[in-house]
């Protein structure tokens, strides 16, 4: 697999990474630990060298799984994790990016990941109670101490990115981006391009919707967070099938799968974007990874662009409580 540089920072990773969240959090029952480790190691065999986790996934268990899985090839991969929450009885309880909490969370992540240094450390969500300069300054100190290599932000707005970058260069912004969520193109991409910052796209498959495997009759597990996402209610799913039909049509023409078209489209947008699709199934992992062999021509990309301009996506991408944690600055 080819590699991509995340902006001008020097961090070079596989052109597709692996989002590990779903192995233990968010999408129904957690995957058996040994099966999760097996999947991560298979990802490495397929050329993936970029693994994304966070302390809140579980909480904690996801970092432990990733740490154990990558141990045999630690020096050959980059691990990204995140801080930014309070915990009460090991459950998340609001945002907290105070410097002392950042340090405490980083020490915990280092132990769970069984690593000496975190390759890419994100602020998971912008904390309006803590100046971003204080956050960036704390991470800068951690980099100087050798505990962190690169600094990232997640779901941050352009002004916040600029302020943070002035204190400690930001290597990557991680936010949602896909054929059905394109807001970053206008809200943050110009700033990232100007400052030489990379972009890591989570949910590149629209939380599974763009694979064509979900329809109006799909029932999600009780603890699947998609049950709380307006975009996934039955009425909106029905309305949004027009996008899936478009992707299926292109996939048929390209002898590819809808998932591969969705990922290939992202790869074609900018050379500094790295999508991190997640999955719990090895055959889906192999399918997603094969997206790097699907090339969309300029004519095909233009055709998709025209079609997308005529499609209105129904429903918000987040629940009301989650939306409040997205930085609008």
- Report the CATH number at residue 149: 3.20.20.100
Residue 31 DSSP class: P
Distance (Å, rounded) from C-alpha 275 to C-alpha 55? 20
Residue 235 lies in a domain: no
Q: Residue 207 to residues 27, 33, 234, 267: CA-CA distances in angstroms?
A: 9, 22, 15, 17
Beta bridge pairs of residue 13:
4
pTM value is 0.98
Domain that holds residue 46: 3-206+266-294
Contact (Cβ atoms closer than 8 angstroms) between residue 63 and residue 109: yes
**Packing angle of the helix pair 132-144, 99-113 (nearest 10 deg):** 40
Contact (Cβ atoms closer than 8 angstroms) between residue 62 and residue 24: yes
Residues 6+ apart with CB under 8 A from 1: 14, 15, 16, 46, 47, 48, 289, 292
Exposed, middle or buried by CB within 10 Å (0-12, 13-18, 19+), for 299?
A: exposed
Report the run of H or E that residue 83 belongs to, with start and end. Answer: strand 78-83
The predicted pLDDT at position 233 comes to 96
Residue 229 lies in a domain: no
Residue 324 lies in a domain: no
Residue 254 lies in a domain: no
The predicted pLDDT at position 190 comes to 98
Residue 37 lies in a domain: yes
pLDDT along the chain (329 residues), means of 10: 96 98 96 98 98 97 98 98 96 96 98 98 98 98 98 98 98 98 98 98 98 96 95 97 97 98 98 98 98 97 96 95 92
Residues 6+ apart with CB under 8 A from 299: none
Structural domains of the chain, count: 1
The predicted pLDDT at position 286 comes to 98
Residue 226 lies in a domain: no
> What amino acid positions are annotated as catalytic residues?
57
């Amino acid at each position: 697999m080819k590699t991509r540089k995340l902006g001008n920072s020097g961090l070079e990773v596989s052109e597709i990474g692996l989002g590990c969240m779903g192995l233990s959090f968010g999408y129904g029952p957690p995957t058996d630990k040994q099966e999760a480790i097996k999947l991560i190691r298979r990802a490495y065999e397929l050329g993936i060298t970029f693994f994304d986790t966070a302390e809140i996934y579980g909480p904690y268990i996801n970092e432990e799984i990733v740490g154990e899985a990558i141990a045999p090839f630690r020096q050959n991969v980059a691990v990204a994790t995140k801080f930014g929450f309070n915990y009460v009885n090991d459950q998340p309880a609001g945002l907290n990016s105070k410097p002392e909490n950042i340090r405490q969370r980083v020490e915990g992540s280092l132990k769970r990941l069984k690593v000496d240094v975190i390759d890419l450390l994100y602020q998971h969500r912008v904390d309006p109670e803590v100046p971003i300069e204080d956050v960036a300054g704390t991470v800068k100190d951690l980099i100087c101490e050798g505990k962190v290599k690169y600094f990232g932000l997640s779901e941050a707005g352009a002004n916040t990115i600029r302020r943070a970058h002035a204190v400690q260069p930001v290597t990557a912004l991680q936010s949602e981006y896909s054929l059905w969520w394109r807001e970053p193109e206008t809200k943050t991409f110009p700033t990232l391009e100007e400052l030489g910052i990379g972009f890591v796209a989570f949910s590149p498959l629209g939380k599974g919707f763009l694979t064509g495997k979900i329809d109006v009759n799909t029932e999600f597990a009780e603890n699947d967070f998609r049950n709380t996402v307006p975009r996934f209610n039955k009425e909106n799913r029905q309305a949004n099938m027009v996008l899936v039909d478009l992707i299926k049509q292109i996939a048929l023409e390209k002898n590819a799968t809808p998932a591969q078209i969705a990922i290939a489209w992202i790869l074609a947008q900018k050379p500094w974007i790295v999508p991190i699709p997640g999955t719990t199934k090895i055959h889906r992992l192999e399918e997603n990874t094969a997206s790097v062999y699907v090339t969309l021509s300029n004519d095909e990309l233009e055709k998709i662009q025209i079609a997308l301009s005529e499609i209105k996506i129904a429903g918000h991408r987040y629940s009301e409580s989650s939306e409040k944690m997205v930085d609008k600055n």
